[in-house]
Chain A
């Protein structure tokens, strides 16, 4: 079956702009998590959604937001972009919230560059 799909794969923005990233989970998976990956920082947890509800949120400013739709697809938005937001944004899906089953299935990520 198809894996986790993230779009766009690459994008370049300038400071102050906003960006929306999309994630389509594996068919049947209802939980979607978002992570920010940067060199030296590893994966920083952004938020997790299950059945359209945000279940958990990491320590990121309010400029980072997300949502999940009834078909389990998820979007995350970053407003007023800063240079430090340049990173690989990873989406992971699981049947139920990932921690309970143990396995997260990751997409290839959306690489955001902020100039």
Chain B
């Protein structure tokens, strides 16, 4: 069975600090990887995704993530966070389950950016 681990449950940063949120997955086959974001009071939305090719993917609002296959990791990064980045971030992975692709989410990381 596939699983996703997000080890940082709550991160507090000052504006302009750099961000890296960890995501590790467990699955033996080919995976697609995603980061979703949930801003306060809003619905979940896609931040970025990786299917194949360049392991460094860029998303919206200056976010990027790097797929490191040997480490089963897909960490999210941003060089300089803003107060508006305060949100909860979810890593997700898809893989075959019961003959169909299944999306599995991590438990989420709450990011609080202090002005």
Q: Contacting B101 at CB < 8 Å: which of A35, A97, A106, A107?
A: A97
A100 within 8 A of B: yes
A82 within 8 A of B: no
Range class of the A interface residue count? 20 to 34
| Pairs across A and B, CB under 8 Å, 19 listed | A35-B105, A42-B105, A43-B90, A43-B105, A44-B105, A45-B105, A55-B100, A56-B97, A90-B44, A92-B44, A97-B100, A98-B101, A100-B101, A102-B46, A102-B94, A103-B34, A104-B44, A106-B43, A106-B45
**Bound-state Cα–Cα, A1 to B43, Å:** 16
Indicate whether A40 sits within 8 Å of B107 (C-beta atoms), given known contacts A103-B49, A106-B43, A106-B45.
yes
Range class of the B interface residue count? 20 to 34
Q: When the two chains form their complex, are residues A102 and B32 in contact, meaning their CB atoms are under 8 A apart?
A: yes
Q: When the two chains form their complex, are residues A42 and B46 in contact, meaning their CB atoms are under 8 A apart?
A: no
Q: When the two chains form their complex, are residues B94 and A99 in contact, meaning their CB atoms are under 8 A apart?
A: yes
B104 within 8 A of A: yes
B106 within 8 A of A: yes
Residues of B within 8 A of A109 (CB): 43
Q: Contacting B104 at CB < 8 Å: which of A45, A48, A102?
A: A45
B19 within 8 A of A: no
**Bound-state Cα–Cα, A43 to B108, Å:** 8
**Bound-state Cα–Cα, A35 to B106, Å:** 12
Total A-B pairs in contact (CB under 8 Å)? 64
Q: Nearest A residue to B38 by beta-carbon distance?
A: A106
Q: Nearest A residue to B103 by beta-carbon distance?
A: A99
Q: Nearest A residue to B91 by beta-carbon distance?
A: A42
Q: When the two chains form their complex, are residues B100 and A45 in contact, meaning their CB atoms are under 8 A apart?
A: no
B106 nearest CB across to chain A (Å): 6
Q: Contacting A102 at CB < 8 Å: which of B34, B45, B100?
A: B34
